[in-house]
């Protein structure tokens, strides 16, 4: 079956792979030459499937793009429209970037605090642990857009003394902090729990308090394990800043809506996608690199 699939997907290499499989069967898999031909066939099968799948996918996408007199291409990939609207969209995207960077600072601070409170030892801290757990469970269970709507429209209507004079920008920062700090707290707590208990016990035996032992001993060691998961959550945070379009802030999505109407084209949305991809793809590659480096270090250390 694998040989047939390889031949269908990419005939030249697939035929060679099938020939190697036949030769391996004739020589016998218990012989040295048979095993060598089997390995060669396996490599060529993988190569044929990879190349063939790529060609077929690219061909299918090209067919879709050219179908119906290239309607999809003209709708979403009008280069002239993208060129005219991209500067305005990029200016709105700077609002998304500011939201991401500012919220990230508050999320890290709140996430560390929540993680420390969830890990407080002893019976006297049981109520604090319960309250923190309830907070994490609630905000992890709510959609991001719902938290934004509740905070922006709900808190604004309450006219609380400390919050009555702030702009929608800061309401969104509060909403993103409430939502993503719950996820961040779980990542930090998981990283801290992965450090052997003897590290914290040794720090406490030297006279350090719980918070001091976490600050100077546990968290620095756990940081290597937390970097990649935290970066993945921050990639999600970057994308969720686009949700501010529902409350009317002129971010990249709202500006793309306006430009789409003015240009009678959907290509401005492609400009928004390009803006987000420029940020998220490098961050994703960095997260993958950090995770691979962590695994190599763990394997090297035994």
pLDDT digits (tens, 9 = 90+) for 215-246: 888 888 878 778 888 888 888 898 999 998 88
Q: What is the mean pLDDT of residues 292-300?
A: 77
Burial (CB count within 10 angstroms: exposed 0-12, middle 13-18, buried 19+), residue 118: buried
Greater confidence, 24 or 269? Answer: 269
7-33 tens-digit pLDDT: 666 667 667 667 766 776 766 666 777
| pLDDT of res. 20 | 67
For residue 144, pLDDT over 60 is answered with yes
> pLDDT band at residue 275, thresholds of 50, 70 and 90?
very high
| pLDDT of res. 217 | 81
Give the three-state DSSP class for 167.
coil
For residue 104, pLDDT over 80 is answered with yes
Q: Determine the Cα–Cα distance for residues 158 and 156; give it in Å rounded to an integer.
A: 6
For residue 56, pLDDT over 70 is answered with yes
| pLDDT of res. 273 | 92
> pLDDT band at residue 1, thresholds of 50, 70 and 90?
low
Greater confidence, 301 or 98? Answer: 98
The contacts of residue 215 (CB under 8 Å, 6+ apart) are none
Which DSSP letter does residue 218 get?
Answer: I
Q: What is the mean pLDDT of residues 62-87?
A: 85
Q: Determine the Cα–Cα distance for residues 273 and 277; give it in Å rounded to an integer.
A: 6
Q: Which of 23, 44, 45 minimizes the C-alpha distance to 35?
A: 23
Greater confidence, 206 or 152? Answer: 152
The contacts of residue 137 (CB under 8 Å, 6+ apart) are 182
For residue 302, pLDDT over 60 is answered with no
What percentage of the chain carries pLDDT values higher than 90? 28
| pLDDT of res. 160 | 74
* Distance set, CA 67 to CA 72, 74, 157, 162, 268 (Å): 8, 11, 50, 57, 21
Q: Determine the Cα–Cα distance for residues 252 and 257; give it in Å rounded to an integer.
A: 9
Q: Considering just the CA atoms, what is the radius of gyration of the chain in Å?
A: 27
* Distance set, CA 221 to CA 85, 159, 290, 293 (Å): 47, 43, 15, 15
Contact 52, 9 (CB under 8 A): yes
Q: What is the mean pLDDT of residues 135-146?
A: 92
Cβ atoms within 10 Å of 57's Cβ, excluding its own: 10
Q: Determine the Cα–Cα distance for residues 253 and 274; give it in Å rounded to an integer.
A: 12
Burial (CB count within 10 angstroms: exposed 0-12, middle 13-18, buried 19+), residue 28: exposed
Q: Which of 269, 237, 236, 277 minimizes the C-alpha distance to 253?
A: 269
Structure tokens at 6: 């390889």
| pLDDT of res. 159 | 74
Half-sphere exposure of 171 (CA within 13 A, CB side): 26
> pLDDT band at residue 168, thresholds of 50, 70 and 90?
confident
Which of 3-12, 16-25, 72-81, 292-301 is the least confident region?
3-12
| pLDDT of res. 214 | 81
> pLDDT band at residue 95, thresholds of 50, 70 and 90?
very high
For residue 107, pLDDT over 90 is answered with yes
Contact 127, 201 (CB under 8 A): no
| pLDDT of res. 21 | 67
Element spanning 176, H or E? helix 168-193
Contact 100, 237 (CB under 8 A): yes
What counts of helices (H) and strands (E) characterise the chain? 13, 0
């Amino acid at each position: 079956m694998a040989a047939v699939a390889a031949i269908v997907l990419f005939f030249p290499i697939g035929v060679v792979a099938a020939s190697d499989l036949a030769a391996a069967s004739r020589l016998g898999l218990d012989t040295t030459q048979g095993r060598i031909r089997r390995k060669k066939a396996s490599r060529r099968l993988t190569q044929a499937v990879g190349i063939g799948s790529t060609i077929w996918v690219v061909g299918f996408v090209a067919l879709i793009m050219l179908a119906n007199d290239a309607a999809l291409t003209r709708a979403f990939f009008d280069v002239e429209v993208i060129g005219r609207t991209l500067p305005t969209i990029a200016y709105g995207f700077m609002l998304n970037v500011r939201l991401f960077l500012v919220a990230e600072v508050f999320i890290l601070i709140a996430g560390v605090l929540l993680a420390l409170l969830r890990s407080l030892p002893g019976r006297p801290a049981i109520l604090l642990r319960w309250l923190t757990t309830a907070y994490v469970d609630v905000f992890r269970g709510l959609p991001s857009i719902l938290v934004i709507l509740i905070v922006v429209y709900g808190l604004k209507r309450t006219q609380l003394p400390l919050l009555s004079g702030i702009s929608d920008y800061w309401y969104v920062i509060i909403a993103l902090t409430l939502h993503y700090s719950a996820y961040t707290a779980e990542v930090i707590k998981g990283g801290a729990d992965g450090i052997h208990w003897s590290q914290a016990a040794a720090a406490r035996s030297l006279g350090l308090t719980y918070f001091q032992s976490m600050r100077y001993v546990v968290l620095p060691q756990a940081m290597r394990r937390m970097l990649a998961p935290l970066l993945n959550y921050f990639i999600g945070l970057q994308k969720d800043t686009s949700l501010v379009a529902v409350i009317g802030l002129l971010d990249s999505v709202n500006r793309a809506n306006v430009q789409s109407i003015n240009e009678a084209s959907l290509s401005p949305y492609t400009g928004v996608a390009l803006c987000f991809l420029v940020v998220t793809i490098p961050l994703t590659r960095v997260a993958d690199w950090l995770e691979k480096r962590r695994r190599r270090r763990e394997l090297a250390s035994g």
